Chains A and B, each alone.
Chain A
Amino acid sequence: MSEQAGGTTRQGDGGPSPDGAVLSLAGISKRFGAVHALSDASLAVKAGEVVALVGDNGAGKSTMIKAIAGVNPADDGEILWEGRPVTITKPHDAATLGIATVYQDLALCDNLDVVANLFLGNEVANGIVLDEISMERRATELLDTLSVKIPSVRTPVASLSGGQRQSVAIARSLLGEPKVVLLDEPTAALGVAQTAQVLDLIERLRDRGLGVVLISHNLADVRAVADRVAVLRLGRNAGEFVMAETSQEQIVEAITGASESVVTRRQARVEAAEAARDVGQKRQASDPQEQS
């Protein structure tokens, strides 16, 4: 999906964010002592769009997510929510706006079943008695709409696979009807099939019209689901790309900050070897002239 297409879905939003972003951050700075974790960084996400936030270790991705989630507020900068300036100083602020965060270390209780984990902290109750029936129904509906496959919603989370657990964690974040979901390395610890499950789920979130901010180290995952890629390097924006029009090298270049780096050199070597093989084949086939 291109940037223009994303723009048309939210046209006429008005306000100071002309491209219709649900959430946009500008000039975000965060210092930890002498270290500038973020300086003048920006990020925007529209409804129905997956924005990947990539960068090397220490680039400021997690700091950015924590600033949005209110866990660790930014020192400086402007946050616009649906075009209105807002302040996020604690997790509760983010939750009230409609920002849900799924952290890297899954915040699930292994000894509780799926229903209890989904509703933990927001239980439905009649007086003091838990309304298990309503919770179980809502849990089943929610997982159904997300096409999350789980043996039974009464299974303890401990006996689920990594992908199922991640799906439950993501589903849990949706109960508050958020408009933006922040996912911190959702596929980091998963196998191939489980990663595919979670990527499918991310696409379903987009199809439901949510804005998704995805932090990932895995450029293959990013390529698979992201509409746009925002690159951070040493706490600053190092480029923003529309996925469909961008090559992997361009992203790597932005991440490492140089067209000449270990990664590109390696890539160049591989390509050179392939090219040489191609040339060899061609020469064999027909064209002796090319040699001079």
Chain B
Amino acid sequence: MTALRTPADATGVEAAPLSSYVNGYWSRVRGGEMGALPAILGLIVLCTVFSIVRPAFLTAGNFANLLPQGAAVTVIAMGLVFVLLLGEIDLSAGYTSGVCAAILALALSDYDLPWYLAILAALVTGTVVGFVLGSLVAKVGIPSFVVTLAAFLAFQGVVLLLIKGGTIISIQDPVILAIGNKNVPPVLGWVLFALGVGAYAAVQLLRIRGRQRRGLTHDPLSLVLIRVGALAVLGGWAVYVLNQERSRNPAIVSLKGVPIVVPIIVALLVILTFVLKRTGYGLHIYAVGGNREAARRAGINTDRIRISAFVVCSTMAAVGGIIAASRANSVDANTGGSNVLLYAVGAAVIGGTSLFGGKGRILDAVLGGAVVAVIDNGMGLMGFSSGVRFIVTGSVLLLAAGVDALSRRRAATAGLR
């Protein structure tokens, strides 16, 4: 256990062997820290089952459908991770996305604003909503469950008022419509893929070099190569499949390329992960979620951190609302309603974010969002009614929350040892 401190290590540090990393990971899993493992296993199982039962599941066309279908929920889940990390909850995130989508639609139709101003209006609405909710939780001291439950009801009403009863506001702006419905040109898809993998590899290698130079232990090169290789193979395969012609009649309309929401989600994943893992602000989020009193004594302004998490969550809900409105070509009373919130919370928790706070990653939201989208899509293909789909998704959420609670207990006993 003191291997870290030996004089040889202090001067010329070599990486620990790969096997020790595998062992370390395995002991963490057994100690209750499963991270994304359940979500990844679940994805593999679900995809295998659906592909066997419904071959249509495994087509490029369905794959390209699935991604934008799950995009809005995934983006909302990304924002929810911030709130969940604090051990709080935002039940209103779904309808916040609905309100922001309605603002977007109104800005485009009634006020004839250009698309970028309409998006800005929707995002600002989300930010303001988050600030109000966060202030009520942090400054007034109302439990977040109650504040956001009230907001859940009220925002439902706000959406109805904004769209004037039962009407549907259709969206005509081509830029907004492109977000959820159009694809990146195949060549650009490959360019973005190459840039992404290259940047990831560069960041990893630079990190190793930096730590090596300062005499600190670092990940073995083999592990980094495996990570970069896995990303390149999976990403390359996805881009290749999505670049296939999906149109039934290519002569009339060509349909190929990576859906535009994919680079948007990847960009949000990278930016928010950077914020959580590499900045002092992100560290403070984890600290407040882990032990609020300790964070306060360390001089962290915990109120500000809590308000900011709600601001991030509601702003991301606005992004999700924009994607949903674009995907549906319209905004109606159901935008952001019904299952959106529960799917989003489910996505974050299924991915491995704890409901007890202090543990979670943005990647969890993406993996969990994929699980939810696959269940929804696959069961739809199998012809199950939406009633059955709700029950299955609810069961999966319960299962994920159970895994979370049990792993917490396991970690507690392991920690007491």
Contacts and interface: CB of A to CB of B under 8 A. Distances in A.
Interface of A: 103, 105-112, 116, 120-123, 125, 128-130, 133-134, 136-137, 140, 144, 149, 151-153, 158-159
Interface stretch (B43-51, B60-68, B172-180, B283-291): B283-291
B166 interface: no
B214 A137 contact: yes
Most buried by B among A108, A125, A159: A159
Interface of chain B, main secondary structure:
helix
A108 B5 contact: no
B411 interface: yes
B298 interface: yes
Given A107-B291, A120-B287, A151-B4, 9 more contacts: A103-B297, A109-B294, A111-B289, A111-B358, A112-B290, A116-B287, A120-B300, A122-B298, A144-B5
B291 A109 contact: yes
Contacts of A152: 4, 217
Contact of B290 (A106, A109, A137): A109
A111 B279 contact: no
B41 interface: no
A130 B358 contact: no
B293 interface: yes
Interface string B7-39: 000000000000000000000000100000000
B210 A111 contact: no
A129 B290 contact: no
Contacts of A128: 279-281
Interface of B: 1-2, 4-5, 31, 210-211, 214-217, 278-281, 283, 286-287, 289-291, 293-295, 297-300, 358-359, 411, 414-415
Nearest to B359: A111
Given A110-B291, A137-B216, A120 B283 contact: yes
B212 to A, nearest CB: 10
Contacts of B359: 111
A64 to B, nearest CB: 19
**3 cross-chain pairs, A with B, having the tightest CB-CB distances, nearest first:** A121-B298, A109-B290, A111-B290
Nearest to B356: A111
A137 B214 CA distance: 8
A198 to B, nearest CB: 19
Contact of B1 (A123, A125, A149, A159): A149
Given A125-B280, A128-B280, A133-B214, A111 B286 contact: yes
Most buried by A among B5, B279, B294, B415: B294
14 contacts: A107-B298, A108-B294, A109-B286, A109-B290, A110-B415, A112-B283, A112-B287, A120-B283, A121-B295, A123-B280, A123-B283, A129-B278, A151-B1, A152-B4
Most buried by B among A110, A111, A128: A111
B279 A158 contact: no
Contacts of B415: 110, 158-159
Contacts of A121: 295, 298-300
Nearest to B277: A130
B214 A130 contact: no
Contacts of B287: 109, 112, 116, 120
A157 to B, nearest CB: 9
Contact of B280 (A110, A130, A153): A130
